[in-house]
Amino acid sequence: MTTAPATPSSPHVMNTYGRLPIALSHGQGCRVWDVNGREYLDALGGIAVNTLGHNHAQLVAALHDQLGKLIHTSNYYHVPLQEELARLLVERSGMSNVFFCSTGLEANEAALKLARKFGHDKGIERPQIVVYEKAFHGRSIATLSATGNPKVQAGFGPLLEGFIRVPINSISALEEATANNPDVVAVFLEAIQGEGGVNPMHADYLRSVRALCDARDWLLMIDEVQCGMGRTGKWFAHQWAGIQPDVMPLAKGLGSGVPVGAVVAGPKAATIFGPGNHGSTFGGNPLAMRAGVETIRIMEQENLLDNATRIGAQLKTALHQALAPELARGAVKDIRGQGLMLGIELDRPCAALVQQCADQGLLISVTADSVVRLLPPLILSAAQPSRLWPLCAR
List of residues contacting ligand PLP (CB under 6 A): 103-105, 108, 136-138, 190, 194-195, 223, 225-226, 251-252
Shortest approach of ligand PLP to residue 280 CB, angstroms?
13
Complex with ligand PLP: residue 122 or 151, whichever CB lies closer: 151
Measured in whole angstroms, how far is the alpha carbon of residue 109 from the centre of its chain? 14
Complex with ligand PLP: residue 93 or 384, whichever CB lies closer: 93
Complex with ligand PLP: residue 117 or 137, whichever CB lies closer: 137
Shortest approach of ligand PLP to residue 216 CB, angstroms?
24
Identify whether 118 is a catalytic site residue: no
Shortest approach of ligand PLP to residue 252 CB, angstroms?
6
Residues 84/289, Cβ–Cβ less than 8 Å: yes
Catalytic, out of 252, 273, 282, 316: 252
Q: Where are the beta strands (DSSP E) in the chain?
A: 24-28, 31-34, 39-42, 97-101, 128-132, 163-166, 184-189, 192-193, 199-200, 219-222, 247-250, 261-265, 332-338, 341-346, 362-363, 365-367, 371-374
Catalytic, out of 118, 136, 163, 273: 136
Complex with ligand PLP: residue 42 or 195, whichever CB lies closer: 195
Shortest approach of ligand PLP to residue 223 CB, angstroms?
5
Identify whether 316 is a catalytic site residue: no
Dihedral of CA 121/124/125/126: which sign?
Answer: negative
Q: Which of these, 386, 393, 325, lies nearest to 43 by C-alpha position?
A: 386
Other C-beta atoms closer than 10 Å to the C-beta of 318 total 15
Residues 291/256, Cβ–Cβ less than 8 Å: yes
Shortest approach of ligand PLP to residue 13 CB, angstroms?
17
C-alpha–C-alpha distance, residues 360 and 179, integer Å: 52
Number of C-alpha atoms within 13 angstroms, CB side, residue 172?
A: 0
Shortest approach of ligand PLP to residue 226 CB, angstroms?
3
C-alpha–C-alpha distance, residues 289 and 194, integer Å: 25
Shortest approach of ligand PLP to residue 38 CB, angstroms?
27
Residue type at position 77: Y
DSSP state of 260: -
Complex with ligand PLP: residue 110 or 269, whichever CB lies closer: 110
Complex with ligand PLP: residue 152 or 392, whichever CB lies closer: 152
Cα angle 49-53-56, degrees, rounded to a multiple of 5: 120
Catalytic, out of 223, 234, 246, 316: 223
Complex with ligand PLP: residue 106 or 246, whichever CB lies closer: 106
Closest residue to ligand PLP, Cβ-based? 104
Q: Where are the beta strands (DSSP E) in 14-172?
A: 24-28, 31-34, 39-42, 97-101, 128-132, 163-166
C-alpha dist (Å) from residue 147 to 142, 190, 212, 263, 374: 9, 11, 22, 18, 22
Residue 31: phi and psi, rounded to 5, are -110, 145
Residues marked active site are found at 136, 223, 252
